[in-house]
Structure 1
């Protein structure tokens, strides 16, 4: 067998995959799952592709090792592969660290098309901007790039349809007869109810109405009768709660999401005690606890409730816009961020003490004034240790 080392996002080898070179079964054989290797939570090649994904603004998802290697050799570096398993929510959460735009480039055989169809709901429920591409002439990505080259493939990728358009055109069918259209509406209802994003849901309904040639408002009324919740744009705006984000504290949070192994240091140094914003401190504590219990951090698990949605979406956006972390300067970046957090905390402590001391002196409370001065001296001593 040809052996492929499987690395996690930190470039640590966590498993191996083997492909038989001649006739034999099974064609692919992977290491068994373990605490450090779960197929549904690892994407092959992500450790090497993540910077190219950030640079190009989107990720290509393929099914196998050879597809990925062929595209990589052709000069397409923003590509990852699933590891002999269906695409999972955890896969997409991994990708959301680097982009919210993906192109699913699955094999044209029946298994590949079914895998793509199963992924449609997943893309929409995780609010990824996804496009779908089934290659022509029955080619898989490996065959196509060898036969036609990188430029032709990039052209197809650039013109690949949005996932909702793919669903309408390829899954729902043509809807030529009355019965066909009635069945399409029934199928669409089930699908629409699984779309979380209200804007995406309304756009999807509009496309369905256009496809069937029926009034959009009538379709919405019919959907409402069947229990599909459709909110207006104004409702969505009211739910958009503003979240205050401290840039220094949130930078440490983003570093912990990117390098969760650093949570041990954060816990041992009690860094989160120096956070001034309770919401971010609470998030930091959840990240530390999640990594301790699970060995990985999934932002959807850490911020799972509806009340966390605004912060969760803010963190998603910040992770995408954050400049890529440099493994070589990680230790310095981490230390500098912790120092800045502590400096801000000490500055806030001085502000509070100054206010309390002024009040104590104004009221003539000498005992409290002396106590506050001693406390100020202790804080100054500890603060000097930072430099």
Structure 2
């Protein structure tokens, strides 16, 4: 965790890995830095405010335009003492979003935050930016990651892909820039999960490990950061990256000996672990079925990828009695469960 000494230093860190940020991006970073310091003032007394995610890593995605509004989330963790009287969570979140509209706020007691492991712990305890005057005893923590953590991120990318319908047809009125962001985000997170197998963590750590994944990371980042209203990267290309990443996890990651990222781990008996493990196996089964028909993914039109996905989903449902009567498309099923999945994923780590 890195303590920030002021608005100027923080605004520089927010864009630290963006090559030649334009004036709109620099202005937004300064505005966001001021907003984050204002949030630190609004936080309950005896609490610390930690910024995580892509902004803390210095590699956010900003939309094109004069305001350079962020498409990346502004992830904020409030770490507080168990002895203080907290303001209601909803009230605190509303106050933060009134200052920084893109803020996603999490509140944890200091004892909970100090025990965060996995990629979530790495995001806040190791890579996070500590904002404001309050201290946090965990400031020098280093959270190491393992192949299980890498697989968890890979499956998270697959869940996001399914819950948003990214492998299905794009709505005619969807802004090309937003579709480009969503598709490259999912593909980049899969590449990032493979990079984690070789000791990397950030999107820009593609130099770790096998060259083809480093090259894919650089290419996807260029597409993401182009910020032009152009045709988005095709569904087939996204699918190819997802399949190659999963193959790497099967070859040398946690999937070589386990059916999901929960089985065989400390989280297997944790609250929420059973639900998370089941949904992960469902997702991995779906992509196993999809792999059979998508070996030449680069040559497939988007409509064919969508058809193959529905076909794979029907095969998965047919093999599981509890899914009898499920929707014909996977998107509604996973969209209805994504919130619970995220909540249980966090709960099992506390």
TM over 0.5: no
Q: TM-score, normalised by structure 2?
A: 0.28
Larger radius of gyration: 1
Give the structure, 1 or 2, with the largest relative contact order (CA under 8 Å, sep 6 or more). Answer: 2
Q: TM-score, normalised by structure 1?
A: 0.26
Q: Which has the higher helix share?
A: 1
